[in-house]
Amino acid sequence: MRSEIKHWASPPYVLPFVVFLLFLAQQRYLPLSPYVEFTVRDVVLAAVLFVFSRQIIQLRAVRRLETLVIGVAVFVVWVAPDVVLPAYRQHWLFQNFITGQISNTIPEDIIRSPLVLWPRIIQAVVLVPILEELFWRAWLMRWLINPHFEGIPLGAYQAASFWITAALFASEHGPYWDVGLIAGIAYNWWMVRTRSLGDCILAHAITNACLCGYVVATHHWEYWQ
């Protein structure tokens, strides 16, 4: 009975992220109207988080000022290469058959509609930081140390776990894998330093909020590909 309980410990951490990936895959092969896509995605992800994960979600940040700095710093790192060297991201290291191509698949007049824009912002600032931090920092970093991860405290450090998680987090971000790697290292380090899921969620949310503001202000919609 005890082993069965351990076996079912992972889904609350993993399921929301899997549902999110399924939505991304669905949009590639069975595209929906943007007016429907983001709203439906937000509702479903919020429902999955509430039903399956609400008991493990920790939103209280214990080091808010430092977390704010971390979040803003990751945002600066994210956009700096493209601001300083506009052609930087065109190199084959970033756009190739493995990482994919940078493209904006939604026409600007549609993505600027409040019916599309605000659900997209809510997804980036509220839902994605929760579901990704549950998966990457709260689950995978511990699971790689020991599959019976519940016995491993949040923020436990093991070199292989730390770097594998950072590398996989980078791979999730396609042509932005380089800044994704730096972000993964920063968030992993902050989890090790604070041992606080709430601080990592907040840092991730601040990064995404800054990026959303930058995208809307500059119309660099490719960051939302």
The angle that helices 159-171 and 177-194 make with each other, rounded to 10 degrees, is 140
**Mean pLDDT score, 177-205:** 98
Specify the pLDDT at position 149: 96
Band of the pLDDT at 7, cuts 50, 70, 90?
Answer: low
The pLDDT-based confidence of 6 (bands split at 50, 70, 90) is low
- pLDDT of 29 reads 81
User: Residue range 201-216: average pLDDT?
Assistant: 98
Residue 1 pLDDT: 42
Whole-number pLDDT of residue 9 = 93
CA distance 101 to 71: 26
- Model pLDDT, residue 184: 98
Res 2: pLDDT: 45
Helix locations, the chain, DSSP H: 2-7, 11-29, 34-48, 64-84, 108-111, 114-122, 128-133, 141-143, 159-171, 177-194, 197-218
**What pLDDT sits at residue 3?**
45
Q: What is the tens place of the pLDDT at every residue in 105-156?
A: 788 889 999 999 999 999 999 999 999 999 999 999 999 999 999 999 999 9
Q: What is the pLDDT of residues 8-42, one digit of tens each?
A: 899 999 999 999 999 999 887 888 898 999 999 99
Mean pLDDT of the chain: 94
Q: What is the mean pLDDT of residues 58-71?
A: 97
Radius of gyration (C-alpha) of the chain in whole angstroms? 18
- pLDDT higher than threshold 50 for residue 62: yes
* % residues pLDDT > 70 (the chain): 97
